[in-house]
């Protein structure tokens, strides 16, 4: 579905958030170090970042400021135990898209993550419609003409990412980064096999191949 960078130096909190995000279909990469977080966010593509402020080696605010200075535009949700208004304002001024104070409910984090992703993509709701195909990101469900499809996690991430990027040709390497786990090495033809399987399940012409460029779900005409 969606590739998210989670930056948190508390091992228990990191584990809990990762478990919840993955259970809700997100592809999660993690780090507990500010320097590593800055490098990952500056050199790799993420749909969103969940960023703690109290990090070793490089503070979260410094990480965020560097990303924005380098024109990295992915939405960032700041997590922190710091609760005063001046600190919240500082986070927003540094380029945060949302701010969540600890402790928090996981459902609220999920709702805020869905919200910043929708805003970043210019969506008003959690529903994306492409012809007869509807993606409900809140329910993690894909339906065709109102009938829900039984999709595996891989299949859902593929359809979700392409529909969220409708109207744009997505290169094969980018699609693989967002569909497969960071520590897996799929066969060279794995993506083509996956797309073929999804096309058969959909039963409609949703995913187009642009030879030599990648794949696209056409946008509104």
Q: The CATH number of the domain where 184 resides is what?
A: 1.10.10.10
Q: How many domains does the chain have?
A: 2
**pLDDT, position 10:** 93
Segments in the chain below pLDDT 70:
1, 82-89, 122-126, 181-185, 188, 220-221
Phi, psi angle pair for 62, to nearest 5°: -65, -40
**pLDDT, position 123:** 61
CA distance 204 to 143: 11
What is the distance, to the nearest Å, from the Cα of residue 178 to the centroid of all Cα atoms in its chain? 8
Residue 161 lies in a domain: yes
3-state secondary structure 60-104: HHHHHHHHHHCCCCCCEEEEECCCCHHHHHHHHHCCCCEEEECCC
**pLDDT, position 179:** 83
Do residue 142 and residue 106 come from a single domain? no
Do residue 109 and residue 6 come from a single domain? yes
| Residue found by looking up tokens 């299949």 in the block | 155
**pLDDT, position 212:** 86
In this structure, are residues 1 and 25 in contact, taking their beta carbons and an 8 Å threshold? yes
Do residue 63 and residue 134 come from a single domain? no
**pLDDT, position 100:** 86
**pLDDT, position 202:** 92
**pLDDT, position 1:** 55
Instruction: Using alpha carbons, select from 106, 102, 68, 104 the residue that is nearest to residue 87.
Output: 102
Do residue 92 and residue 7 come from a single domain? yes
Instruction: Using alpha carbons, select from 61, 58, 63, 59 the residue that is nearest to residue 38.
Output: 63
Do residue 116 and residue 8 come from a single domain? yes
**pLDDT, position 185:** 67
Do residue 9 and residue 116 come from a single domain? yes
Report residue 10 as tokens: 């508390």
Burial of 63 per CB tally in 10 Å (0-12, 13-18, 19+)? buried
Instruction: Using alpha carbons, select from 95, 46, 37 the residue that is nearest to residue 71.
Output: 95
Phi, psi angle pair for 142, to nearest 5°: -115, 135
Do residue 90 and residue 153 come from a single domain? no
Could you read off the pLDDT of 180-195 as tens digits, one per residue? 866 566 776 888 999 9
**pLDDT, position 173:** 84
pTM of the model: 0.63
Residue 196 lies in a domain: yes
């Amino acid at each position: 579905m969606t590739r998210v960078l989670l930056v948190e130096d508390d091992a228990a909190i990191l584990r809990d958030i990762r478990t919840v995000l993955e259970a809700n279909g997100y592809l999660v990469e993690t780090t507990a170090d500010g320097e590593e977080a800055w490098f990952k966010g500056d050199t790799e593509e993420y749909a969103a970042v969940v960023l703690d402020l109290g990090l070793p080696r490089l503070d979260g605010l410094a990480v965020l400021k560097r990303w924005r200075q380098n024109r990295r535009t992915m939405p960032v949700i700041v997590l922190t135990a710091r609760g005063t208004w001046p600190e919240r304002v500082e986070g927003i001024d540094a380029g945060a898209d949302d701010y969540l104070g600890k402790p928090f409910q996981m459902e609220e984090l999920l709702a805020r993550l869905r919200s910043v992703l929708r805003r970043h993509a210019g969506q008003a709701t959690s529903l994306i419609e492409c012809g007869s195909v509807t993606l409900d990101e809140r329910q993690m469900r894909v339906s065709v003409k109102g009938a829900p499809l039984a999709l595996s996690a891989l299949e859902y991430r593929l359809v979700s990412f392409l529909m969220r990027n409708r109207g744009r040709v997505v290169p094969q390497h980018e699609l693989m980064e967002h569909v497969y786990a960071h520590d897996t090495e799929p066969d060279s033809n794995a993506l083509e096999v996956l797309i073929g399987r999804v096309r058969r399940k959909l039963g409609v012409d949703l995913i187009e191949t642009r030879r030599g460029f990648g794949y696209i779900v056409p946008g509104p005409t």
